[in-house]
Amino acid sequence: MFTHMTVGTNDLSAARAFYDAVLQPLGYKRLFDREDRSGYGADRPSFFVLHPVDGKLATYGNGSTIGFAAPSQTAVNEFHKQALAHGGRCEGPPGPRPFGPNVYAAYVRDPVGNKLAVICTAAQ
């Protein structure tokens, strides 16, 4: 359904440090950099961190959440730990969620305030 997702940032260096750390446990990495953006993914970039094209300050979308798939509960825990260590805020600690069988998730805000979820649905 989607080709990509983007989040804005006002400090690309800090955003790169944050997303490098939190996406690594999920098997994603930074695949390219330009002056105004970086692209992340497993084998092709599909998540981008960038300075807004209109030149205005980056802000978060109220009611928006970007959810990342995690291969294990351990990866969910590590994502959450790295997010907090790199300037993120907890929006829901790692643990089971009532959304379905085997749902284990955590929620954080990145340094700009974008809400991120990481979810594992594999039986442990």
The string of DSSP letters for the chain reads: --S-EEEE-S-HHHHHHHHHHHHGGGT-EEEEEETTEEEEESSS--EEEE--TTSSPP-PPTT--EEEE-SSHHHHHHHHHHHHHTT-EEEEEEEE-TTSTT-EEEEEE-TT--EEEEEE-S--
CATH topology of domain 5-51+64-120: 2,3-Dihydroxybiphenyl 1,2-Dioxygenase; domain 1 (3.10.180)
Q: What is the structure's pLDDT at 124? A: 79
Domain spans of the chain, in order of start:
5-51+64-120
Q: What is the per-residue pLDDT for 23?
A: 98
Q: How confident is the model at residue 118, as a pLDDT?
A: 97
Report pLDDT for 24. 98
pLDDT at residue number 123 = 86
Instruction: Give per-10-residue mean pLDDT for the chain (124 aa).
Output: 92 97 98 97 96 94 94 97 98 95 96 96 88
